[in-house]
Amino acid sequence: MLRWVKRIALIIGGLIVAAVLAGVGYEQVMRWRAAQEFPAQGRLIDIGGRHMQIDCRGNGAPTVIFESGLDTMGSLSWSAVHDAVAATTRACAYSRAGIMWSEPRADKFEPDSEARDLHTLLLAAEEKPPFVMVGHSLGGPYIMNFTRLYPQEVAGLVFVDASHPHQVERMKQVVGKKMEAGKGLMQAASALSWTGIPRLVAAHTENSTFPARAKLTGDAYMSRSLGSALQEMESLDATFSAAGQLRQLGSRPVVVLTAMKPFPADMLKTVKMTPEQGRQVQAVWKELHDDEASWSHRTRHELVPDATHYIQFDRPDVVITAVREVVGDVRSGSVTSEAVVAKDP
């Protein structure tokens, strides 16, 4: 009897090893196919020992710089609005270090590293200021860090359902705990990225408002992007702290867009919130965006009732209008480049 138990254990162990090896082989083949079928959009620019991807289209000034949120889509996050904005001015979308086609950095993640990378990339790509910075989600703090470090180059900003430096503690007050539901999933996916499992899961996940080509391309590169995205997620507190050092944008034109579509029941269940807590979270989110709208003397705050967090996919027209509005204000010549760097009290 013991002999048969050992044999069965060996067979099961062998099957597990074979499955893992098959997964590893599948992942490597799919990464090779991704490079062949979905080459880098725009250009790969050497920024000093590693390459970053940037996709600039159109002509005119000011140049719009799109900054994606905390995901693995990089420049593809703006695929539904990029061409429309580029029809009226120069517009650049890029992928941060380790995301999509951009190579990862070797040194430790630092909040200001993202802004310095972008600045170096824009210089190497010969893209010239003034810039209108457009940030989605975590891209909001990133464009604030860029503005803090390079104030004379930023002429206007658009916040697309952007994160706020105080959102962690404010949300904790409502929910009663730190909202980190996505962190465990990201850690698990990153740890399993070499097995092919995250790739298979992504391929069978629907995102009805995402452009089909963008989703296919993003899925193809997702597994190689997970590690860098996880580094950004684990550094949220440091990023929010750095971005919070700048709260005054002077007379720069600013548009703040806030997604207000009610949270669906399945999402509330996933993050273990009641419907009432969901409504309270959205109310706090609006208050945080009201604060963002106070950072400039020339701000418009728009609530988007039929959009989820990815406003640029749900209502691309709203984002396009907001960007064109800020570009028009900059072109009017009435914008000063003043910036006051103020420490959070």
For the stretch 208-223, pLDDT in tens is 678 888 888 888 888 8
Q: Provide the H-helix boundaries in 235-301.
A: 236-243, 265-270, 275-293
Look at residues 91, 85, 116 and name the one whose alpha carbon lies nearest to residue 41. 91
Q: Model confidence over 61-72: pLDDT tens digits? A: 999 999 999 999
Q: What is the third-level CATH fold of 43-331?
A: Rossmann fold (3.40.50)
Matching residue, tokens 């009641």: 274
Whole-prediction pTM: 0.86
| pLDDT tens readout for residues 193-248 | 656 666 666 655 666 678 888 888 888 888 888 888 888 988 999 999 999 999 99
pLDDT digits (tens, 9 = 90+) for 93-112: 999 999 999 999 988 888 89
Note whether 53 and 102 are within 8 A (CB). yes
Q: What is the rounded distance in angstroms from the CA atom of residue 209 to the CA atom of residue 72?
A: 17
Bridge partners of 53? 44
Specify burial of residue 168 (Cβ count, 10 A radius: 0-12, 13-18, 19+).
middle
Mean pLDDT of 128-143: 97
The structural domains of the chain, with segments of one domain joined by +, span: 43-331
Locus of tokens 């995901």 = 71
Q: Residue 16 above 60 pLDDT?
A: no
Whole-angstrom CA distances from 76 to 11, 163, 182, 312 are 44, 19, 21, 11
Q: How many residues does the chain have?
A: 345
* pLDDT tens digits, one per residue of 175-186: 776 665 566 666
pLDDT of residue 260 exceeding 80: yes
